Amino acid sequence: MPINADFFYQKAEEDFLNAKTTEDKIEKLQKMISASPKHKGSENLRAELNKRLVKLKRESEKEKAKKKGKSVGVKKEGDAQVTLFGFPQSGKSTLLSKLTNAKPRISEIPYTTNQPEIGTLDLEGLKVQVVDLPARIDDKEVLGIARASDFIVVVVTSLDQLITLNNFFKKENMMTGKTFILNKIDSISQEELKKFEKLPVIKVSSKTGQGLDILKQKIFESIQLIRVYTKEPGKKPSERPMIVRKDSTIKKMAEKIRKDYSERFLKAKIWGNSAKFNGQIVGISHILKDKDIVELYLKW
């Protein structure tokens, strides 16, 4: 064989041996095959290399399928995102259907939720995206979604579950941004209920709706957003609220409507929780409270 062909083959082999990923290996092996000696005596070698290529391609397919099947990413929508987290059969899907417009599959067979189910909880104009996570609590992607959400509602039906999950969150360094709720209080034993008496756990029944208002209030407080209504002089307040961060100033709110509104700001009139009296005139650094009504006066 010509000496330079041998050189190219050896170089290709070296590259192949250094390849790290399956994709990379496939690419380098293909180069190796095309650089391999083409005479009769090397038929066995080429057959061997082709066999390896087939095997690698199969491996690559498997890797891709695995990635696809496990992908449970959720696009954030609405003003905030809350995730439901808990063991199978704890009633997460039922809870989702009670809190939101979603119609998830509810089943007596565990692990019915393979993909996250999503619904919107409307807190008087504040839209909360609620995500019912697949019941694979130790799955990295599921945990990733929970971690990335604004608040986690951990659903349990026994003290054992609570302890297990609490330890789990400790291990994962996820100690804040969540609340535990005890579900199925309509059917769990008095004995079990008693264990929760002194715990800071919201007791609910997704079935009867008991406790759900308290849960909604907890979600509202935890996501740290408020609703404010804008108003034009002589007219009624807007029907839909603007959503701003808790403790936002009028400046923040004005800029959210239009970038240049804070420069053009003259004064504001307010009604509601942050007003000392109806129609109080305030400046741009006034701090807003939930459900305030604000009338902006601009210079030009």
Ligand X SMILES: Nc1nc2c(ncn2[C@@H]2O[C@H](COP(=O)(O)OP(=O)(O)O)[C@@H](O)[C@H]2O)c(=O)[nH]1
Residue number with CB closer to Mg ion (113 or 222): 113
Smallest CA-to-CA distance from 13 within 26, 31, 1 is with 31
> Least distance in Å: CB of 105 to Mg ion?
7
Which of Mg ion, ligand X, none does 89 bind, CB closer than 5 to 8 A by kind? ligand X
Under rule CB under 5 A, which residues in 98-137 are in contact with Mg ion? 113
| Least distance in angstroms from the C-beta of 94 to ligand X | 3
Cα gap 7→26, rounded to integer Å = 20
What is the closest distance, in whole angstroms, from the C-beta atom of residue 195 to ligand X in the complex?
Answer: 17
Identify which of 276, 299, 288 has the alpha carbon closest to the alpha carbon of residue 230: 288
- If we measure between CA atoms, which residue out of 92, 94, 142, 148 comes closest to residue 115? 142
Closer to Mg ion by CB, 114 or 224: give it: 114
Q: Which CB, 183 or 248, lies closer to Mg ion?
A: 183
The smaller minimum CB distance to Mg ion, of residues 79 and 132, is found at 132
Tokens of 266: 């003259």
List the structure tokens of 247. 């403790």
Binding interface with ligand X (CB under 6 A): 86, 88-94, 106-108, 113, 135, 183-184, 186-187, 205-207
205 counts as binding Mg ion under rule CB under 5 A: no
Residue 92: CB minimum distance to Mg ion, A: 5
Q: Which residues in this chain contact Mg ion in the complex, by CB under 5 A?
A: 92-93, 113
